[in-house]
Amino acid sequence: MSFPDLFALSTKKFCTVAEVLVWTNVTHKWDLKALFYRDDGIDIATWAAAAAMPCWNRFCDSVGGYTPHEFENDTFSWSINADKEFTVASISFVVNNSKSVVWDSLLIKWLKAMWDLKLPPKIKLFAWRFFIDRLPTKDQLLKRGVSNVSNPICDFCGNLLESSSHLFFLYQEVKEIWNHIFVWLGIPEKINIEEFVLFGDLQEKVKNIKRRTMINFVWFATIWCLWIMRNAIIFKGEVFCFDDICSNIVFLSWRWLYVGYTEFRRSYYEWFKLPLSDSITL
Ligand SMILES: [Zn+2]
C-alpha cells in the first residue's frame, strides 16, 4: 500500500474510484466528503484539511498523470507487465528481483558469501539478521515501538545507546577482542585489522578460498560469541569476560568447520596453535 496514512484515515476503504469521483461537465473532482465522511459531528472540511491533507496532496501528485474517463468502468491492470495483463511468470520476476530493490548490491554479495558457507543454520539465520540490521538490539526494538525496553543503554559499557555497530565493533573491549582474534589467526595476506573487521574487505583481500572460508567461520564465530555474551549479561546477569569470548570463538569456529567440512580434520589443539597453517588445508 503506497498511502497507509490516507488509507487509515479514510472511512470508505474499499470503494472504487468511480464511486468517489464527482463529474461536472467533463471535469472530475474527488468526493472528499465520501472518502473521509465521519458521523461523529466533526466538521468534515476542517477535519480533513487538518488530518488528511498532507498525504492527500502527495496522493494527488502521484495520480496526476492518470486521466479518468467518466463513462468507463474501473478495471484492474497489472503494472509489472507492459500489456497490463497479469501472468504468474511476472510474480517470479518480482520475487527474483525484489532483493535488489530492498538491499544494495554489496549487501547481496555479502549475504551470498555467507549463505554459501556450511555454517550451522542457526548461525546463518543470525548472520542474515546481523547483515540486514534486524537483530533485536535495543535501538531496533525502540525503532519498532517495543515500549518495554527499560534501559536502552548498551550493557557492555553502560554508556551509549545499544546499536549493532556499537555492540559488535565500536565498544573498546570489543575492538580488543577483534584485535586478539586477528593476531591469533595470523592471516598471511596483506590485510590490516580495519579490513579484517569489515566483512566485505575481508572477502576482497583473502583470495584463497579455503583460507577465506576458515577466516569467515572465525568472523561469524566472533559476532555470534559477542551476541551470546551480550544476552548472558542482560538475561543472566553475567559480566563481560574477554577470555571467555576469545576461547569460545576459537572453539566454536573449530567445531563448526569440523561439522561442516569432512575435509577439515584438524584436532582442536592444531587449530588453536596454528589456525591457518599451510601444511594442513581445509
Ligand atoms: Zn557499549
pLDDT tens sequence across 127-171: 999 999 999 999 999 888 887 788 889 988 888 999 999 999 998
Q: Quote the CA–CA distance of 116 and 6 in Å, as a whole number.
A: 43
Q: How far is the CA of 232 from the centre of ligand 1 (A)?
A: 15
Q: How far is the CA of 153 from the centre of ligand 1 (A)?
A: 7
Question: Which among 131, 133, 99, 104 has a CA at the least distance from the CA of 117?
Answer: 131
Q: Quote the CA–CA distance of 131 and 216 in Å, as a whole number.
A: 14
Predicted pLDDT at 14? 83
Q: How many CA atoms lie within 13 A of 261 on its CB side?
A: 18
C-alpha cell at 3: 498511502
Q: How far is the CA of 240 from the centre of ligand 1 (A)?
A: 11
Q: 15-64 pLDDT, tens per residue?
A: 888 888 888 888 888 887 777 777 766 666 566 656 667 777 788 888 87
Q: In which residue are the cell numbers 478495471 written?
A: 75
Q: How confident is the model at residue 205 (pLDDT cuts 50, 70, 90)?
A: very high
The more confident residue out of 279 and 256 is 256
Cβ distance 21 to 30 under 8 Å?
Answer: yes
% of the chain exceeding 90 in pLDDT:
53
Q: How far is the CA of 195 from the centre of ligand 1 (A)?
A: 22
Q: How confident is the model at residue 73 (pLDDT cuts 50, 70, 90)?
A: confident
Predicted pLDDT at 33? 76
Q: How far is the CA of 255 from the centre of ligand 1 (A)?
A: 29
Q: How far is the CA of 168 from the centre of ligand 1 (A)?
A: 9
Predicted pLDDT at 16? 83
